[in-house]
A and B are shown apart, each in its own frame.
Chain A
């Protein structure tokens, strides 16, 4: 079956511009997560959606970052006024539901480069 998909796969943007990154989770998965992975660093949690509950935004590094999940499926991560330190691979993951033993399935990521 189809896995988690993300678009675009690569994005180059100028400092100060806004970007939108898209994630399509596995059908039927109620939990969706965004992470970012910088060179030489571990995956850093950004935000978590579970069903219709309020998202856990505790990992968002600044108010320039926001995310939405429409209809319990597709999610969009928006970065406003991008900075060079935002350059990283942004990974989306989904799981059947949050908690318990359900593993997270990761998408291929979006490589963001801010010039």
Chain B
């Protein structure tokens, strides 16, 4: 089977840095995505990693280690609007080469 694990909830303070971890065991791998989903809204794309290393995009960075089946999303200079669910998704697992398998998401609460 396949499994994607991420913490259920995290809390952090405005202005701080938070790291959301994701581990995966899947039958195939064709890239890892992070999405942000505010309550009641559609997920929006944050980042994509297919090779090992760090991808940086403004306040958000994502890291991948394929040998360890591990990724993290790093959010810097947290803002209240960053309170949302963060979804880790692997492409190329059992659901197919081009389809995404999602973790259950990490609910991040940013407090003043």
Q: Which residues of A approach B to under 8 Å, CB–CB?
A: 4, 31, 33, 35, 40-45, 48, 50, 56, 58-59, 91, 98-99, 101, 103-109
Contacts and interface: CB of A to CB of B under 8 A. Distances in A.
Interface of B: 4, 30-31, 33, 35, 41-45, 48, 50, 87, 89, 91, 95-105
Given A91-B42, A106-B44, A33 B99 contact: yes
Given A56-B95, A91-B42, 20 more contacts: A35-B102, A41-B104, A42-B87, A42-B102, A43-B87, A43-B89, A45-B100, A45-B101, A48-B98, A48-B99, A58-B95, A59-B95, A98-B97, A99-B97, A99-B98, A103-B33, A103-B45, A103-B48, A106-B44, A108-B42
Contact of A48 (B4, B96, B101, B105): B96
A45 B99 contact: yes
B48 to A, nearest CB: 5
Contacts of B33: 103-104
B100 A104 contact: yes
Nearest 7 Cβ contacts at the A-B interface: A98-B98, A106-B42, A103-B45, A43-B102, A42-B102, A42-B104, A45-B95
Contacts, number: 64
A108 B91 CA distance: 22
B42 A109 contact: yes
Contact of B103 (A42, A56, A101): A42
